[in-house]
């Protein structure tokens, strides 16, 4: 190949690489705005009460430690003698049980101790990095996580939490759309 041809090829490759991997500034700005929505939902008490660094789940909008000395346990489902399922069923109880009945959803529990996914109160950039790090998310990539936030029963519970609990204020469809926008633009992190 002549040097000119090589130069031409190299330029073409550079241009192609640029098109393939870089979102436009507009897409990036949109994606960062979408990430604000993601952050708002992830940090809402209906979500972050379970996504905690400590050992006891939190309760209420005030995010106080769970009553009855409940703990994460070896797999996130509580202590062997007091599993979450002793009180939490697969769905919320009827209103007749009163506003303080234990809420319910399938596989109610905390993430396991070696994969806590503890994002409560972390800054946006750190939350973003955490979600993108497969080591910290049980091996899920962003496509799997999009499916999780779209379909998982514990996630959906946040929009129908029972009792007098405040649901997540962002509509679920809007949240999922924001996640998709962010992911499709290459999942940029704030401050990066
Ligand atoms: C009752 C506790 C509980 C609540 C409430 C809860 N989660 Fe989770 N969350 C879990 C558990 C347990 C896992 C791990 C489950 C698994 O690996 O399948 C998890 C995993 C996740 C993951 C997966 C991370 C990954 O690996 O991809 C995301 C994202 C997530 N939750 C988001 C949310 C959002 C958003 C809400 C609120 C709308 C929420 N969670 C509410 C317990 C909870
Ligand atoms: C002894 C019964 C009992 C056990 C065991 C128990 N819970 Fe609860 N939990 C409750 C009750 C009752 C409520 C509702 C309290 C209220 O609204 O006043 C509750 C509320 C919660 C909430 C609050 C939701 C919110 O956003 O305010 C979370 C999260 C929670 N439990 C997680 C767990 C997890 C995770 C486990 C197992 C590791 C567990 N609980 C084990 C009885 C229990």
- CB 136 near ligand 2, within 6 Å: no
Quote the pLDDT of residue 90: 97
Q: What residue spans define the domains of the chain?
A: 27-184
**Dist. CA 164 → ligand 2 center (Å):** 14
pLDDT tens string 52-106: 999 999 999 999 999 999 999 999 999 999 999 999 999 999 999 999 999 999 9
Which residue, by CA, sits nearest to atom 19 of ligand 2? 102
Question: Of all atoms in ligand 2, which is nearest to the CA of residue 165?
Answer: 27
Residue 42 CA, closest ligand 1 atom number: 35
Report, as an integer, the average pLDDT of 136-165: 95
137 within ligand 1 shell (Cβ under 6 A): yes
Residue 17: pLDDT band (50, 70, 90) is very low
18 pLDDT band (50/70/90 cuts)? very low
Q: Are 146 and 180 in contact (CB under 8 A)?
A: yes
- Give residue 145 CA to ligand 2 midpoint distance, Å: 25
Whether the CB of 109 sits within 6 Å of ligand 2: yes
Name the phi and psi angles at 21, rounded to 5: -105, -15
- 168 exposed, middle or buried (CB, 10 Å; 0-12, 13-18, 19+)? buried
**Predicted confidence (pLDDT) at residue 19 exceeds the cutoff of 60:** no
Q: Whose CA is nearest to atom 43 of ligand 1?
A: 50
167 token code pair: 């649901």
Q: pTM score > 0.95 for this model?
A: no
Q: State the ligand closest to the CA atom of 51.
A: 1
| pLDDT (average), residues 175-185 | 98
**What is the average pLDDT across 150-179?**
98
Ligand that comes closest to the CA of residue 145: 1
Separation CA 100–CA 16 (nearest Å) = 58
Residue 110 Cβ < 6 Å to ligand 1: yes
Q: For ligand 2, what atom is nearest to the CA of residue 163?
A: 17
Given a contact cutoff of 8 angstroms between Cβ atoms, the answer to whether 104 and 91 are in contact is yes
Question: Would you say 192 and 27 are in contact if contact means Cβ atoms under 8 Å apart?
Answer: no
* pLDDT higher than 80, residue 2: no
């Amino acid at each position: 190949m002549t040097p000119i041809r090589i130069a031409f090829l190299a330029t073409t490759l550079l241009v192609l690489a640029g098109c393939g991997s870089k979102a436009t500034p507009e897409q990036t700005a949109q994606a960062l705005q979408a990430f604000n929505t993601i952050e708002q939902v992830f940090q809402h008490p209906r979500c972050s009460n379970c996504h905690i660094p400590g050992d006891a789940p939190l309760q209420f909008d005030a995010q106080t430690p769970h009553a009855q000395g409940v703990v994460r346990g070896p797999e996130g489902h509580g202590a062997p003698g007091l599993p979450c399922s002793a009180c939490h069923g697969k769905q919320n109880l009827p209103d007749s049980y009163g506003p303080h009945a234990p809420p319910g959803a399938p596989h109610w529990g905390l993430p396991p101790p070696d994969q806590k996914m503890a994002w409560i109160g972390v800054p946006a950039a750190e939350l973003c990095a955490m979600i993108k790090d497969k080591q910290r998310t049980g091996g899920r990539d962003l496509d799997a996580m999009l499916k999780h936030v779209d379909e998982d029963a514990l996630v959906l519970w946040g929009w129908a939490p029972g009792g007098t609990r405040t649901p997540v204020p962002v509509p679920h469809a809007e949240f999922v759309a924001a996640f998709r926008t962010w992911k499709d633009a290459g999942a940029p992190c704030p401050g990066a």
